[in-house]
Every structure is written in structure tokens, then in C-alpha cells.
Amino acid sequence: MRKALDRCEVVCINHDAVNRVRKEMLDEEVIRNIADIFKALGDPNRVKIIRFLAQEELCVCDLAQLLGMSLSAVSHQLRALRSRRLVKFRRQGKVVYYSLDDAHIVGLFNQCLDHVTHE
């Protein structure tokens, strides 16, 4: 039988470390909200939308053209991002423009990008 290399071979709890980390534990609602954001970013089309909107404000039609998707499919993706406060919109006449909700989203995206592209 093969030994698992990714776990301890004996039980040895460092109670001091556990107590230090436990003191910094996040509230369950905050944890769920963070997980929900990562879940939203688990879709490649939503990641593309975040990337496009990090460059400039775009309308739904622009995003549909860039993604090669229907307007209704893009609107569905935008609703998912908007409900998690990742994007916001503004209406100008008959056109709805989308942008990132705030600079935190760009920072989150750029950190992920740096992580996956560094060697």
C-alpha cells in the first residue's frame, strides 16, 4: 500500500498555532461572500468580462461582440456579476454601459493573473 505524501504520518497538533489562527477567523457570512465571488469568477466568460471591463466601460452589445455570445447570454452573465457587486451599470439613453464596481476588482483580477502567469 502506498503512503500518502500529503498528510502527516502522526497526529501532532500545534495548539499555539491553532489558537493564533482561530483568533483571526472570519465571520461565516464574510466567508460565504468571498466563496460566492470566487464561484462567480469560476466561469471563463465572466473572467473575460472582468478583463474587458478592467480596460474600459462597455455596453452589453460590445461585450456580446467580444465574447461571440447573444445579448441575452451576456446579460445573464452580467446579472451574476452585478449581484455579487463585481460590476455596475449606468444607462445613457437607450444604451446600458457596464464597468467594474471598484478598484478592488481590478486588484483581485491582477493578483490572480500574476499568480497564474509567474514562473
Q: Is the dihedral of CA 7, 12, 15, 17 positive or negative?
A: negative
Instruction: Look up residue 8 and give its DSSP letter.
Output: -
The grid coordinates listed for 96 are 446600458
Specify the 3-state DSSP secondary structure of 110.
helix
Q: For residue 67, what pLDDT is reported?
A: 98
Q: For residue 38, what pLDDT is reported?
A: 93
Q: For residue 2, what pLDDT is reported?
A: 67
Instruction: Look up residue 75 and give its DSSP letter.
Output: H
Specify the 3-state DSSP secondary structure of 59.
strand
Compute mean pLDDT per 10 residues along the chain, 119 residues long, and list them.
76 94 95 94 96 96 98 96 96 96 92 92
Q: For residue 6, what pLDDT is reported?
A: 82
Say what the pTM is.
0.84
Q: How far apart are CA 103 and CA 47, in angstroms?
A: 16
Terminal CA-to-CA distance of the chain, rounded, Å?
Answer: 34
Q: For residue 95, what pLDDT is reported?
A: 95
